[in-house]
Amino acid sequence: MSVTIRDVAREAGVSVATVSRVINSKGYLSPAAITKVQLAMEKLNYQPNAAARRLQGKSSATIGVILPSLDNPLYSELFEHIEDELSGRHYQTLLCTSKNNSEKEEEYFKLLKSNQVDGIITGSHSDFLIEHGNASYPIVSFDRQISKEIPTVKSDNLAGGRAIAGKVVERGVKNVLILSGSKEDFYPINDRVTGMMAVFNQAGVDVTTSSLEFESSIALKKLLVGQLIVSRDYDAICCTDDVTAILVKTCADTMNYHPLISGYDGSTFIRTFFPELPTVQQPIKEMAELMVELLIERIKSPKTRLNSDYTFPVKTNRVHKKA
């Protein structure tokens, strides 16, 4: 049974009104009364209801973060930086890994509407927030535009696609597979593919495109990748994310097949444990910091006009010659 404000008042030997004033820092209170209430709250492990605090003009000091998954090092590193930045500003973080599930996103949006979280940072690619999100609520999007009224923080995916394709072309490849780790019509994947295609077409490279289902199991993805590369037709395989690139490399190595394989995202994990993987490095820490800054600005000054798009440049690492 949950502890109520009446339980705290009874334990402290004061009125409910006094407990309420302590919680909301309102009105004159003697140091003795404040101490009694605080000790009672600690003893009973009482946590003031967030919605009730908001009704009193108090913040819940909690931010909801929606990400597709933490399996991808990009998202786990992004969340770590978001959480660190929010903690430094005295906000707690509530994480939802949605798997791009609209029902989970709807639950979080309801928390926002009921004032149980102060704002949302979302990196999900389902359509729920596109249909329901608007400037009335503090929301910042990572990578995908929800609406023109909601700030989007991203890196230059079109330029990134061009850059990695240019590095691959320098190696003299003639036949390339572009493999997307999710549906090709999802942003930012479509921009990355568009950038790659522009460079490959200009260079006269033969290109095949394919994609995996984001929701598929690792076992199924390995099976599909094996079917795609069993012909050994490609001297380069360009993946739209690093996780897919590592999966392709694992499958190719078991076949003693060694095409040039490239990825995208460049998280610290990938650069540390797979330094040989050619990839596009996104400024993950800087993007996380800006998303938090924009969201706090929207929370504290709802009428402040923010840009709809904040785009960071990317960089590529060195592409080594094939063995």
pLDDT at 323: 41
What's the number of domains the chain is made of?
3
pLDDT in tens, 181-220: 876 556 788 999 999 999 999 999 999 999 998 778 889 9
- Tell which residue, 283, 280, 235, has the closest CA to residue 261: 235
Q: Are 37 and 8 in contact (CB under 8 A)?
A: yes
Residue 195 and residue 81 share a domain: no
* Cis preceding-peptide flag for 31 (omega within 30 of 0): no
Would you say residue 320 lies in a domain?
no
Q: Which domain holds residue 142?
A: 62-155+284-313
Residue 121 and residue 41 share a domain: no
Of residues 304 and 195, which shows the higher confidence score?
A: 195
Q: Are 143 and 123 in contact (CB under 8 A)?
A: yes
CATH classification of the domain holding 106: 3.40.50.2300
Tokens of 65: 């973060």
The 8-class DSSP code of residue 96 comes to E
Would you say residue 57 lies in a domain?
no
Residue 117 and residue 30 share a domain: no
Would you say residue 256 lies in a domain?
yes
pTM above 0.75, yes or no: yes
Residue 151 and residue 288 share a domain: yes
Would you say residue 322 lies in a domain?
no
Residue 164 and residue 234 share a domain: yes
Q: Grade residue 65 by pLDDT with cuts at 50, 70 and 90.
A: very high
Q: What is the mean pLDDT of residues 129-139?
A: 73
Across the chain, mean pLDDT equals: 87
Residue 161 and residue 277 share a domain: yes
Instruction: List phi, psi (to 5°) of 117.
Output: -130, 150
Would you say residue 216 lies in a domain?
yes
Would you say residue 55 lies in a domain?
no
pLDDT in tens, 221-240: 999 999 999 999 999 999 99
**DSSP string covering 240-290:** SSHHHHHHHHHHHHHTT---EEE-SB--HHHHHH-TTS--EEP-HHHHHHH
Q: What is the mean pLDDT of residues 71-82?
A: 96
Of residues 166 and 100, which shows the higher confidence score?
A: 166
Residue 135 and residue 110 share a domain: yes
Would you say residue 231 lies in a domain?
yes
Would you say residue 318 lies in a domain?
no
Residue 173 and residue 144 share a domain: no
Residue 42 and residue 22 share a domain: yes
Residue 289 and residue 263 share a domain: no
Residue 135 and residue 121 share a domain: yes
CATH classification of the domain holding 18: 1.10.260.40
Count CA atoms closer than 13 A to 145's CA, side-chain side.
9
Q: What is the mean pLDDT of residues 156-163?
A: 97
Q: Grade residue 115 by pLDDT with cuts at 50, 70 and 90.
A: low
Least confident of 99-103, 155-159, 163-167, 261-265: 99-103
Residue 145 and residue 294 share a domain: yes
